[in-house]
């Protein structure tokens, strides 16, 4: 083989690899859902909740940008795990217009339900354009409530002795962390739901010292091997995905999202997280 033939064959091979990678990032990984299993050790957890499962689903993003039948199929797969508690951590739609309300109703007829409780919080996309449309948030909240999901807007829910604290979205119209944490009691078992992990760096936590479940970042959606993702919608670029010890008694977990803003993922598979509850040693 002479030099010209070698260069020609190498160029053809490179084009083939690039085309294959493009197809993978567009048609394979965005729909290659991973169920991630984790332990969640919580202080003061009641005996009856030890060994129970808590499932986190985040950033569903129902809309026109990808085939949301994938979401229905994913919900049906998730129900096979029979979770005890299900929490949704915001961004239910890619909001463009009122069409998303009907799409959300269609998908959430199949919403994953917990045997003990199903709760959720709103994300920035649930506030419509520029995160400023209260009417959009109200409509989405109504659809979620009709689907059996208790929406916590700066409020708390008690589930068999586990206090679930729901902060409304940082970028939305109703971010009131003091209200959400006003009744925080360190002597009880607690977890917090907070869509945007940047809130972890604000001085609003009232000595909170347990788990915080977030989403928002999608893990960056595309990540070079062994390198951080180049694009993250947070100020603190440490907040990408997975479990992060905040070094003050709080543990942050950032879910990589089940949906996506745009149909492209590389090295960041969509995720549903299943936590097994345990009691933390004090």
Q: What is the end-to-end Cα distance of the chain in Å, rounded? A: 70
DSSP class of 266: B
Give domain limits for the chain: 1-31, 33-279
DSSP class of 281: P
How far is Cα 150 from Cα 117, in angstroms, rounded to an integer? 8
Strands 211-214 and 271-279: unpaired
User: For residues 64 and 96, is the Cβ–Cβ distance under 8 A?
Assistant: yes
Strand partners, 214: 254
How far is Cα 174 from Cα 20, in angstroms, rounded to an integer? 44
pLDDT of 2 above 80:
no
pLDDT of 16 above 60:
no
Q: What is the mean pLDDT of residues 69-79?
A: 98
Q: Which residue has the tokens 């595309």?
A: 222
Strand residue runs (E) in 5-97: 34-42, 53-57, 85-89
CA atoms within 13 Å, Cβ hemisphere of 191? 31
pLDDT of 204 above 90:
yes
Q: What is the pLDDT at residue 226?
A: 87
User: For residues 224 and 267, is the Cβ–Cβ distance under 8 A?
Assistant: yes
List the single range of 2-11, 34-43, 79-88, 272-281 with lowest mean pLDDT. Answer: 2-11
Q: Who's near 196: CB < 8 A, 6+ residues apart?
A: 123, 124, 169, 170, 171, 214, 216, 234
Torsion sign across C-alpha atoms 281, 244, 221, 193: positive
pLDDT of 282 above 60:
yes
pLDDT digits (tens, 9 = 90+) for 259-278: 999 999 999 999 999 999 99
Domain 33-279 homologous superfamily, CATH:
Metallo-dependent phosphatases (3.60.21.10)
Strand partners, 212: 192, 252
User: For residues 25 and 265, is the Cβ–Cβ distance under 8 A?
Assistant: yes
pLDDT digits (tens, 9 = 90+) for 223-262: 999 899 999 999 999 999 999 999 999 999 999 999 999 9
């Amino acid at each position: 083989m002479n030099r010209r033939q070698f260069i020609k064959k190498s160029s053809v091979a490179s084009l083939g690899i690039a085309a294959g990678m493009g197809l993978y990032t567009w048609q394979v990984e965005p729909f290659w859902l991973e169920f991630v299993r984790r332990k969640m050790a919580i202080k003061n957890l009641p005996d009856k909740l030890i060994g129970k499962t808590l499932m986190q689903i985040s950033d569903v993003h129902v809309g026109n940008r990808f085939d949301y039948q994938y979401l229905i199929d994913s919900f049906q797969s998730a129900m096979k795990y029979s979770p005890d508690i299900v929490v949704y951590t915001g961004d239910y739609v890619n909001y463009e217009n009122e069409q998303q309300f009907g799409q959300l109703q269609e998908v959430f007829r199949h919403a994953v339900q917990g045997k003990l409780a199903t709760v959720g919080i709103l994300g920035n996309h649930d506030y419509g354009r520029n995160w400023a449309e209260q009417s959009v948030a109200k409509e989405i909240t109504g659809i979620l409530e009709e689907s059996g999901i208790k929406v916590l807007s700066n409020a708390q829910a008690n589930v068999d002795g586990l206090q679930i604290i729901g902060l409304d979205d940082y970028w939305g119209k109703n971010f009131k962390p003091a209200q959400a944490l006003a009744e925080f009691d360190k002597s009880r078992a607690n977890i917090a739901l907070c869509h945007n992990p940047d809130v972890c760096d604000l001085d609003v936590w009232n000595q909170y010292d347990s788990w915080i479940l977030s989403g928002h970042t999608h893990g960056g959606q595309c990540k070079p091997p062994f390198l951080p993702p180049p694009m993250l919608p947070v100020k603190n670029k440490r907040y990408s995905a997975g479990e992060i010890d905040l070094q003050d008694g709080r543990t942050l977990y950032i879910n990589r999202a089940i949906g996506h803003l745009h149909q492209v993922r590389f090295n960041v598979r969509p995720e549903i997280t299943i936590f097994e509850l345990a009691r933390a040693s004090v």
